[in-house]
Structure 1
C-alpha cells in the first residue's frame, strides 16, 4: 500500500485524501497545514493521518499532495527541498488549475517525480464531493513517471485522468478554457436574465426561459458539436434583427453582444452566406 502526505488541509485536499484512504490502495500518512486547527479538523473528518505541527515533522511518503493556494506552491516546494523531506523516486504533485509542474522544480532537482494534477470539479462541500467525484476528469502534466503513477491514483479514487501537452502555456490554456466555460456562462446567464427582465418578464419566468434554453443548447452541443448547435439571427444572416437587438441593449451588454457576435460569425463559417454584412454591423461604432 502506498503512503500519501497531505500539505494543505482545505476542501480539495481533505476530500482527495479521504477518497485515497477509502480506496484501500493508499494510506494517509500525515497532514500538515499552516493552521494546526485546520489540520486537526481535517484529520478528524478523514479519520486517518497523523497531524503534524511543523512541515519538517512530516514522515517519508510515496506521494506528496501539495494542496495550497497557487501563490504558496513554489514556496512550499522550496521549503520541502531545503528540508530534504521528499525522497528520490517519490511523487510530488500540486492541484493548481493554472500552474504547471515546474512550480516543483526544487523537488525535481532532488530526484522526485513531479506533476500538476487538476480535477475539473468543485469541492465547495467536501462531503458531497466525496460522494459525487466518480467520473471526474483530471488533467495531468509533468514528468512521465509521475503522470503514470498519478493516472493510477486518479483511477483508484474514481476519476478519469488525461494528459495535457507539455508545450509552454498548455496548462494556462487548459485553465482558461475551464474558466470561460464555468465563469463566463454564469455571467452570460445573468446578462440574459437582466435583458429578459428589461422586457417586463417576471424574474421567476425569466429564470425558466433562460435556464431552459441553456440546457437545450448544452444538449445540442453535446450531440451535434458547437458549430452545428448554432441557431438564431446571426447564423441565419438576419442583420435586421441583430440591429434591433443592439438598439435596445444598454452599452455594457451591447459590448458583450458585439464581441460574442463576431465570434459567432466566425463559428458559423460557411453556414453564413454574407458574413461581411453581419460583421460590419457588429463592429460598427455608435
Structure 2
C-alpha cells in the first residue's frame, strides 16, 4: 500500500548526486518514475540505483513527475530550468529541487515563474555515485533554502533522505560552499601533494605514513572548531623559521607544492598569531622566511 504524501519523482541529470538522491527518495517511499542522463555512466547509474525509472529526455522527465531533481552541473542549472520553461514543461505546484551548494532558489527562477515551488537542497558530503552513498547520507547535513511558505517541504525532504537540515539564506550559499570546498577538496589537494613529495624521496606507501597523522589532525581540528588553534602543531606554532626555510628549499623543484605550502603556512601563521600561539616577533620572522612566490 502506498503511504500518504508520496510523490512521483523525476531526475534530470542522473550523475553521482542525482542518482543517489533519487534512490534516497525511493528508499523513503517516493516513486522515481523517470530519469535522464547522457553519458554511459549515467545510464549505468539509472539501471543500478533507479531501476523502476524510465530513461527519457529531460522534458518528459519534468512532465512525468511531481518532484523534479534538477541535478545538472551548477553552471547549467539556470539554463536548463529556463529551457524547460520555454518548452512549457513546468507546471504550477510542481516541486523543483536543485542540489547545488553555490546557488539558492534564484537558479530556478524560470521554473518558479511557471508556478513550480523552488527548493535548494545541498547535502554536505562527497558522492561516489553508488549505493554506498545512501548510508553516507544518514546524519549528513543538508543546507536548505526556499521561500518561507515551502521551506518545511525542503526540510522534510532532507530528513526523509536521512539528513539533518540547516536553513541558509540564498545570499549566504556561496560563502557556505566556499567553506566546504576549502575544508574538503583543498584538503585532498594538500594530502595528494604531500604524498607525491614523499613518493619522490622513495617512500613506497605514502598514504600509510600520512593516514594516522592526517586523521588525527583533521579530527582534532573538527573537535576544536571553529577556532582549532589549540590543535595546531608544527614549525609555525613553534616559531621555527629555520625549519620552514629548509622546507622551502626542499620544495624548489615542486613549484605547485611550494606555492601551496607558502600560502597555507602564511594562513597558519595568521591563525597562530590571532590565537596567541606565537607572538609578533616570531610571526614577523616566519612571514619574512616564507617570502613571496617568484
**TM-score in same-fold range (> 0.5):** yes
Q: Contact conserved, 1:197 with 1:203, CA < 8 A, in 2?
A: yes
Question: Is the alpha carbon distance of 1:260 and 1:43 closer, same or farther for their aligned partners in structure 2, counting shifts above 3 Å?
Answer: closer
Mapped pair 1:233 → 2:235? yes
Q: Contact conserved, 1:60 with 1:87, CA < 8 A, in 2?
A: no
Mapped pair 1:130 → 2:134? yes
**1:73-152 residue pairs with structure 2 within 5 A?**
73-152=77-156
* Residue aligning to 1:216: 216
Decide which of 30, 35, 38 is 1:31's aligned counterpart.
35
Matched residues in 2 for 1:243 and 1:57: separation? 59
Q: Deviations over 1:225-247 (max 9, x none)?
A: 32111011111212222222223
Q: Contact conserved, 2:15 with 2:45, CA < 8 A, in 1?
A: no
Matched residues in 1 for 2:31 and 2:222: separation? 38
* Residue aligning to 1:272: 278
Secondary structure of 2:244's aligned partner? helix
Secondary structure of 1:79's aligned partner? helix
Number of aligned residues: 281
Alpha-carbon offset, residue 77 of structure 1: 1.1
Q: Contact conserved, 1:40 with 1:51, CA < 8 A, in 2?
A: no
* Residue aligning to 1:283: 291
* Residue aligning to 1:21: 26
TM superposition score normalised by structure 1 = 0.85
Alpha-carbon offset, residue 196 of structure 1: 3.2
Secondary structure of 1:271's aligned partner? coil
TM superposition score normalised by structure 2 = 0.83
Mapped pair 1:202 → 2:203? yes
Q: Contact conserved, 1:113 with 1:145, CA < 8 A, in 2?
A: no
Q: Contact conserved, 2:34 with 2:64, CA < 8 A, in 1?
A: no
